[in-house]
């Protein structure tokens, strides 16, 4: 294998690893979102009408703030006005002299 082919192979493997890491991270966040939403639906009052709900999904360096309205319509939970705001967490580092 030539030096160029080896470099190209390494570059492809690095790109695949980064994409795989991002895909798994996104999958975990989506799964966490679904589990949190399902738990909130189970805790909601089915006779109250449209209920505003807000929850936060942290991922270490940022957080997703999800707000929505939830109601039980004809025996089924309906969601409307779902908004997701993705916020970076601000970290400050102080150096001691």
- Per the prediction, the chain carries an average pLDDT of 85
Q: Is the pLDDT at 38 greater than 90, yes or no?
A: no
Q: Is the pLDDT at 27 greater than 80, yes or no?
A: yes
**Percent of the chain, pLDDT > 70?**
92
Chain position carrying tokens 């991002």: 22
In this structure, are residues 70 and 44 in contact, taking their beta carbons and an 8 Å threshold? yes
Supply φ then ψ for residue 45, to 5 degrees: -85, 115
In this structure, are residues 86 and 62 in contact, taking their beta carbons and an 8 Å threshold? yes
Instruction: Look up the pTM and report it.
Output: 0.62
Q: How many CB atoms lie within 10 A of CB 95?
A: 4
Q: Is the pLDDT at 34 greater than 60, yes or no?
A: yes
**Percent of the chain, pLDDT > 90?**
23
Chain position carrying tokens 């916020």: 87
pLDDT, greater one: 52 or 41: 52
Distance (Å, whole) CA 54 – CA 69: 9
What pLDDT is recorded for position 22? 86
pLDDT digit string, tens, across residues 43-80? 888 888 899 989 888 877 888 899 999 999 988 889 89
């Amino acid at each position: 294998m030539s030096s160029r082919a080896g470099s190209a192979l390494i570059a492809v493997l690095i790109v695949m690893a980064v994409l795989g890491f991002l895909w798994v991270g996104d999958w975990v966040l989506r799964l966490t979102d679904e589990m949190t939403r399902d738990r909130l639906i189970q805790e909601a009052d089915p006779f109250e009408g449209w209920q505003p709900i807000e929850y936060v999904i942290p991922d270490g360096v940022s957080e997703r703030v999800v707000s929505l309205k939830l109601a039980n319509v004809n025996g089924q939970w309906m969601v409307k006005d779902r908004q997701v705001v993705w916020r970076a967490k601000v970290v400050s580092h102080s150096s001691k002299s």
